[in-house]
Amino acid sequence: MLLDAVTAEPLAEVKFNCEVLNIELQNNFVRLSLPADQTFDVPWVVAADGAGSTIRRQFGAETDGPGDMGHFLNVMFRADYGTWLQERPATMYPTASSEYFEFFVAVNGRDLWLMHHLLKRGEKPNDFAAERLQVLIREASGLPDEPVQVLSVMPWVMSPKIARQYRFDRVFLVGDAAARLSPAPSVATGAGLKLAIQTALESLKSKIDCK
């Protein structure tokens, strides 16, 4: 939807597979350096380049946060759970027992799901082969007879952080580049998207004061 809206804008140009190597602030514009000695001069830059924002690091913006709050696995898998949950549609389904505490996120609400698995002390991502995860998913879902296909496994660390500065003259940090939230509440409430939109709106307001 966003791509359709941007491509329909006559003043916009969409570029894929395009890497920004460096950003230089000039008197009244920003110069972007790309591979093959390409450069683009633009009036403003919105840095939406994620939690590990290269642009934030380039401008030396420090971040504050509580630090490491837990190591997790994001497990993307297929399983036909939608037919069992037609009467209980939701974005997230937490399941818990004395043996596990898992968060199941509905990707399409039918057969594509994401499970957040908290690693216990001493456990490592390599300890969890696809077969072990399949057993865990079947048990935690309460549907042990439903076939499960693990598609991908990605480790991540819960570490919310916020940048001390959002703006550098004509460059604005937005989204995770400005403030990184825990994925669980972000998924459940849309907090990440709401924050990204809010920071973008605040940036648009503040650019009026930029000389």
Tens of pLDDT along 129-155?
Answer: 999 999 999 999 999 999 999 999 999
Sequence-distant (6+) residues with CB within 8 A of 54 are 20
* C-alpha distance across the termini of the chain, in Å: 33
Q: Do domains 2-66+160-209 and 71-157 have the same CATH topology?
A: no
Please give the residue that has the higher pLDDT: either 176 or 183: 176
Phi, psi of 85 (to 5 degrees): -120, 20
Mean pLDDT, range 91-100, rounded to an integer: 87
Amino acid at 28: N
CB 154 within 8 A of CB 170: no
CATH 3.40.50.300 is held by the domain 71-157: no
Residue 32: what pLDDT? 94
Residue 183: what pLDDT? 59
User: What pLDDT band is residue 201 in, cutting at 50, 70 and 90?
Assistant: confident
Residue 180: what pLDDT? 82
Residue 203: what pLDDT? 63
What is the C-alpha radius of gyration for the chain, rounded to an integer number of angstroms?
21
In the chain, the percentage of residues whose pLDDT exceeds 90 is 49
DSSP secondary structure code for residue 180 in this structure: E
User: What pLDDT band is residue 52 in, cutting at 50, 70 and 90?
Assistant: confident
User: What pLDDT band is residue 210 in, cutting at 50, 70 and 90?
Assistant: very low
Is a pLDDT exceeding 70 seen at residue 208?
no
The pair of structure tokens assigned to 67 is 């630090």
CB 163 within 8 A of CB 57: no
- Report domain extents, the chain: 2-66+160-209, 71-157
Superfamily designation of domain 2-66+160-209: FAD/NAD(P)-binding domain (3.50.50.60)
CB 69 within 8 A of CB 185: no
